Every structure is written in C-alpha cells, then in structure tokens.
Amino acid sequence: MSKPYITGYCDPINAKAGRDVNFMLSAEGATQADVQLVRVIHGDEHPEGPGFVEQEIDSDLPKTVDLAFQPVQAGSFVEVRDDAARLLADGAFTVHAFVWPSAPSKGRQGLVSQFDQGSGCGFDVGINAEGCVSFRLGDGKQVEEIVLSTPLQAKLWYFVAASFDPDSGRMHVRQRAVINRYNSLLAPFLNDDYDDDADAPCGVRPKHSGTSLLIAATHDSTAAPGARIGSVYNGKIDRPGILAGVIDETAVARLANGERLQTHATIAYWDTTAGYSDSGIGDEFIDLGPHKLHGQGYNRPIRAMTGYNWDGRDDCFRLDPSQFGGVCFHEDAIVDCAWDVTLNWQIPSDLKSGVYAIRLRAGDVEDHVVFFVRPAKPTSKVAMLMPTASYLAYANERFVLAGPAVELVTGHTLMLADVDYFLNQHPEFGSSTYDHFNDGAGICYTSWRRPVVNMRPRHRMASTGVPWQFAADLSIVWWLEQCGHDYDVITDADLELEGAALLEPYKVVLNGTHSEYYSEKMMDATDAYIAGGGRVMYLGGNGYYWVVAFRPEEPWCMEVRKLNAGSRAWQADPGEHYMATNGDRSGLWRDRGRAPQKSMGVGFTSEGMDECKPYRRLPDSHDPKVAWALEGVGEVFGENGLALGGAAGLELDRYERNWGTPPNTYLLAASEGHSDNYPHVSEEVMFSFPGLGGTQDFQIRGDVTLFSAQQGGAVFATGSIAWGQALPWNMGDNDIAQITQNVLDAFVRDEDPLA
C-alpha cells in the first residue's frame, strides 16, 4: 500500500487576476486538508542561499477542503456512441482493420470491440494474452471465442477480418500480412508465413452490450479502480470498419489491398485519413458509413502516423493523407485526468502578479499546487516570462530513474527523494516527453491536466541534486523580489495565446533558466517584441531549441516530436516528423532555419552536470559602449552558485556567427575549465572523433553576449542554465547578481542602452 498523499492540478495554470481557476485534488489516506494561499518566492534549500521562501496570503479560499480519491482513466482509445444499437447487425457481419501491433504479447488488447467484460455481451476483435488475433461473441450467458494460431509480430502491418454468420452458425477469422519495403520493421522478402485463418462453429448469437464501440480497447468493469476501459491496445490501427455479411477470400484480398467493397453493405467505416487539413488533425474519427457514427479520441491517440500503405516517398501527411491513416494507441497514455473540480476560486482583481500555490496540509502530508497570476492590466515595466512550455516537456520526468546512461550523462550518482518514489508508484499520472510508453515508443504529448509533481517549489532533479526548470526559475523570482524593480509574471501559455501583444506593455522581459521548448507563435512574438524596441534578458541556456505546437482551444496540451538531431531520449520513426496538432515539422528550430543565435545571440553548444564553472571577461567587455554591463566585477566572475558551485554550467550556449549571431554582438565573457563530461552537442558533430570534450574543444563554453536591435531593442544573454541559480548565492550579494542588476537597470530606462 502506498503512503498517504495529497496531490492535484489546476486549470488554467496561467490565470489573470479577476478570473477563475479550478483545482482538481485527490488524496489517499487523507479525507480533509488545510488550505492556504501562498506566494512562492524561492524553493532551493541549498544552505548557501535563502532557502525555501513562501509568503502566506489572506484570501477567501476555504480554510479546509474535503478530499477523496479520484481515479485516472489511462490509455488512448476511440469511443463511438451507438445508442440506437446500429453497429451489431441482426444478421451476418464482418469486422475488419489494418493493425500494426507494437507489443502484441503484452496481454489481452482490444482492436475493434463492442463487448462488455462484465456482462459478457457483444463482439470483440482483439489480441489474446499470447499475441494471437481472437474473435469473441457473447450473449450474456455464454461467450465463445476463436483464436488464430500464428502470433502477430511486433511492428508489422496486417489486415485482420472477423466474420460471423448466424445462418450457418460459424465464425471465421483471417489475418494477412501487408508488408511493403517501407511500412514495417521487417522486409517483405522473408519466408516467414505471417498469414493465418481459423473457422469454427458458434452456438452464440451475440447480444448488444448496451455500450459504445471502442477502437483500441474494451469495456471492462474489472479495470483499475474507477476506470471503465481496459485491455487498451499498443500499436497502430488504420481504417477499421464493419460490413454486413460474410466475406470470402477474394473479398479479403481486395480489402487487404485497400479497396472498398461494393458487394457488401457498409455498416461503419472509420476513415482515419478523413478530416486531415493543412493545419492539423483533430480527435474526431470520421465514419463514412450510412449512420455517420463518428468516434471521439481519448487521451489523444497519435495521428499523422504512417499507415499500412506508406511507400516511403512522402514524409509528411499533408502531401498524401491517404498514406498516413495509422493511428497510434498506448495503454499508458494520459493527457487529461478528467477529475472533478474540488475548488473553484475567483482570483481577486487586485492580487499582485506572481507565482502562487494553494498549500494543502493534512498531518505530515503536504503539497503545493502551483499556478501563475498575471495582472488584470500591466502596470510594471518588467515581466518575468515563466517557461511553462518547457515545464510541460519535463512534466513528471521518469527518464532519470529509468534511463540506463543517466549517471554517465550527469556525472552523478542518483539521489532519490520521496517524490521520486511517489512518481514511480503512480504511473497513471503519466510521464514527460523525455520518457517512453510501455511499448518503447517516445511520448510526444504532455499536459498540465494531471498532477505534475516536479512543478513543485522544493523539487530537485534526482540525477544532479539541483533544482531544474520551475524550481530553478524561482531563483530568478527571488532575485527580482530583492532588485528594487516592480515586475509582473507572465507565461509561455499566455505568449502562445496572445503573441506579441502580451509583451508590448513591458520595457524588459526576463526569460527563465531553460526556455527550451518554443512554438512558432512564441518565436514570432519574441522577435516582434525585440524589433519593436523591447529588451530581453535571456538568463538561461539551451533555449529556443525544440519546435512544439498547441491547439488554440486546448492550450493545456503540447506536442513535440524528437527527430534525428538534438539531445534526445527518443526519435520519431521515418515519415512521422510532422505534428498532428498543426501540421508543422517538429525537431530543432535550427533545422527549420531559426537557430537560437538569430534571436538571442547564443545557442546550445554543450551540456554537463558534474560541476559548474566561472566566466572570464573578454576584450569586448571593456568597450566603453558596454562596459557598464560588467561594472563592479573582476576579470573572473561567477565562481559560486547554488547549482554545482558556479554560474556557468548544466547546459551552455555559445556565440556563433555561422548560426546567426548578429554581427553587432558584443562577446563580453566566456566560461572556461569545463570537463570532458561536457561533450559537444550531437547536432554539430558530423564525424565522431576524440577531442570533443570540454578540456579540448574551445566551443565548449557559455558566452555572455549583448547586442542592440532596431528602435532601441536589445538582448542580453548569459549562455548558462546555472546563471539564474547563482543569483541568490550569499543572499544575492555576488558578482552574477551585480551584472544582472546592471543590465536590468540599463534596460528598463527609456534611453537606448547601447546608443
């Protein structure tokens, strides 16, 4: 039995003062919790910093809240409502689909099913525990099943058809391999016989289950507590359908070849290539049959995937949708816990902008459900842009616990905390885009509609023992509280929805430590802001790196596909590089012609997590036009910090004219002394050879840069994730804080800082 816990999430996480926010909470071992609104200032409990800092805020939130366990329905599937019972024919019928199983021996899995495990009614075409195609029919008293003897092989395309004829009292199942040179794991010239047939008498006339039809799952009252769907399939399904009558071998061959039969009436035909557009694909599955029983995808089945007929020529679904009918399902997918609202709260219109949480306590159990409040109307000149897209990318990261090479990458022994064990005990809360589904496929969707346990103020990354993402960004928040400038908090989620208009009221925008994941709208807004005279302080590293996408109506869910370049934990299969969300190619922004150097002056060059190092000033820093930036610091600075002992490290960015660093950029300083645990980024390595580590490659460094843009715009970049976590060292009395203060003071003035 797991330890007692309280957890939850809120929607939205980016709330404007005066608007509502909903809190969805769940607990085990606690039925009530004390509620306190807190303003979160700092999370890192490092002894050389300010420690954990939160400020209790009076509010009209209830003092206590009743709690109950809320279940999670994991797994992606399609549900087709059939209230008029049209899908189970009175006479003979055939169910068919193209299937590409990714884990055929993982237990019973539904393919096309209108079967209720509890009542034993309906029909079910699926895969049994041995990985063989099965066909079940039930009348509520008896269930009969026919099973093929040839197991399905993983990652091969098959055509599957199951027929029932009440007149003859027989059931029939067939599978035919439909392997070409491109669509499957194995080549078509192998001699293995993947085809199979089975025929058997059947004394059961199936009775309607009273349930919806499911694609990639079955109704199962014995599933996880509170869940209603079980036997979720792992793999792709392409163009499933139901025909009236029994098909013969000729009809099977024609269907397996992609033809539509005119000799049999169509009961339903879900064309998984229908509804595609140049701007993406939704979650509705179109039925071209007479009843128009369209299906609804749950937990975001992955579309824009290659189908049974992909011929390898076109790599984007927009070029020929007919070859991209594969829809990928996973038993452990989750993008929306769909919990009931526990608390609804209208944020006071005069609440100060900032990082907030509701703190929940029940005895020794505590949790912070974090959210961000932007002002009803901006009044500050300074904005802190919280990189919530990157928080989503790393949400519930399990890679550091499961990845076999994590300790080699980081140079540290794992340091596990209670939260790591908690996450391991609750797979239903999903994983990050650095993780894999149970069948080994990479996870491309992530959302905030679930508990995100590493978006908590005290969280530390197990692989390094230092804060990462949200908790690390609180070091910048703490410093802003001390620096003497009023500031607002805004988020990537706001930037995605509002574009450049969000940034226009501000003279200066500060980034977080790791603004790694960016959409095109966010990139465009940032560039437009700078072009209009805005000033950006990029206080991080490895930013503006991965291309992501959001649906405007669903800002809580983000898509990213890791392609064949970049530091990545998985790689999308051939032909599956374009996002279903908006039709854009994912991967690295530099591979789309927008390297981060073009916007920020620096771009990703190395990562290493054994130790952080200082910077050394370069000649440009003494130029009278920019000497003010480093005024008050010595030739070497940043020798201390809360992240592994220095200001330059974890992930580093460098000045690089060949990737678009503006010609007028001042190279103020560069870090030095990095170990060979800091290798050159893989996307810049054409050939692997010795000498790519920090002790030998001059490009392994973090650069501090400054450049001006039109209309008084300017960008200051630090080239290091660890910079932000150096700000609070010695309670903010340090050279990194001095430089950051110098730049902010100059940027906030109306005068052009580089004039």
Q: CATH 2.60.40.10 spans which residues of the chain?
A: 5-72+342-373
Q: Residue 674's CB: how many other CB atoms inside 10 A?
A: 25
pLDDT value at residue 687: 84
**Residue 646 is encoded by which pair of tokens?**
């220095």
Phi and psi based region of residue 440 (left: phi greater than 0; alpha: psi -120 to 50; beta: remaining):
left
The residue written with tokens 């000497």 in the block is: 627
**Residue 10 is encoded by which pair of tokens?**
């809120």
Q: What is the DSSP string of 535-580?
A: EEEE-SSS-S-EEEEEETTEEEEEE----SSSS-S--PPTT--B-T
Q: Is the sign of the CA dihedral 362, 368, 371, 375 positive or negative?
A: positive
Average pLDDT across the chain, whole number: 95
pLDDT value at residue 304: 96
Question: Across the chain, how many H-helices and E-strands are there?
Answer: 12, 42
pLDDT at 359 over 70: yes
The residue written with tokens 């895969």 in the block is: 127
CATH fold of the domain at 5-72+342-373: Immunoglobulin-like (2.60.40)
State the Cα–Cα distance between residues 392 and 517, nearest whole angstrom: 9
Residue 179 in 3-state DSSP?
coil
Q: Which residues pair with 371 in a beta bridge?
A: 356
pLDDT at 392 over 90: yes
How does strand 133-139 pair with strand 636-637?
unpaired
Residue 253 in 3-state DSSP?
helix
pLDDT at 679 over 60: yes
State the Cα–Cα distance between residues 660 and 743, nearest whole angstrom: 23
Cβ burial, residue 197 (10 Å; 0-12/13-18/19+):
middle
Contact 16, 376 (CB under 8 A): yes
Q: Residues 629-657: pLDDT tens digits?
A: 999 999 999 999 999 999 999 999 999 99
If you average pLDDT over residues 136-163, what whole number do you get?
A: 97
Q: Residue 56's CB: how many other CB atoms inside 10 A?
A: 10
First-to-final CA distance of the chain: 65
**Residue 436 is encoded by which pair of tokens?**
């894999």
pLDDT at 76 over 90: yes
Helices (H), 580-655: 596-600
Q: What Å distances lie between residue 187 and 101, 184, 310, 424, CA to CA?
A: 16, 7, 14, 38
Label residue 228 by pLDDT band (50, 70, 90).
Answer: confident
Q: Residues 262-277: pLDDT tens digits?
A: 888 999 999 999 999 9
**Residue 539 is encoded by which pair of tokens?**
């206080």
pLDDT value at residue 464: 83
pLDDT at 488 over 70: yes
Q: CATH 2.60.120.200 spans which residues of the chain?
A: 77-329
pLDDT value at residue 420: 85
Q: What is the 3-state secondary structure (H, E, C) of 491-521?
A: EHHHHHHHCHHHHCCCCEEECCCCCCEEEHH
Residue type for 455, please?
Answer: M
pLDDT at 1 over 60: no
Q: Which residue has the higher pLDDT, 407 or 727?
A: 727
Provide the whole-model pTM: 0.96
State the Cα–Cα distance between residues 529 and 523, nearest whole angstrom: 10
If you average pLDDT over residues 21-46, what whole number do you get?
A: 97
CATH fold of the domain at 77-329: Jelly Rolls (2.60.120)
Instruction: Evaluate the omega torsion of the peptide bond into residue 12 and state whether it is cis, within 30 degrees of 0.
Output: yes
Chain centroid, CA 52 distance in Å: 28
How does strand 235-244 pair with strand 326-329?
antiparallel
Contact 503, 521 (CB under 8 A): no
pLDDT value at residue 699: 95
Q: Residues 87-120: pLDDT tens digits?
A: 998 899 999 999 999 999 999 999 999 999 889 9
State the Cα–Cα distance between residues 321 and 304, nearest whole angstrom: 8
pLDDT at 554 over 90: yes
If you average pLDDT over residues 574-586, what whole number do you get?
A: 97
What percent of the chain has a predicted confidence (pLDDT) above 70?
97
Q: Residues 294-352: pLDDT tens digits?
A: 999 999 999 999 999 999 999 999 999 999 999 999 999 999 999 999 999 999 999 99
State the Cα–Cα distance between residues 489 and 744, nearest whole angstrom: 16
Contact 118, 228 (CB under 8 A): no
DSSP-derived letter for residue 720 is B
Q: Residues 444-485: pLDDT tens digits?
A: 999 999 999 999 999 998 778 899 999 999 999 999 999 989
Cβ burial, residue 260 (10 Å; 0-12/13-18/19+):
middle
Q: Residues 413-433: pLDDT tens digits?
A: 777 788 888 998 999 999 999
The residue written with tokens 């797979």 in the block is: 427
Q: Residues 506-547: pLDDT tens digits?
A: 999 999 999 999 999 999 999 999 999 999 999 999 999 999
Q: Residues 706-745: pLDDT tens digits?
A: 999 999 999 999 999 999 999 999 999 999 999 999 999 9
State the Cα–Cα distance between residues 221 and 443, nearest whole angstrom: 27
If you average pLDDT over residues 660-679, what whole number do you get?
A: 96
pLDDT value at residue 412: 66
pLDDT at 2 over 70: no
Helices (H), 706-749: 722-726, 735-747
State the Cα–Cα distance between residues 654 and 300, nearest whole angstrom: 37
pLDDT value at residue 89: 87
pLDDT at 253 over 90: yes
Label residue 221 by pLDDT band (50, 70, 90).
Answer: low
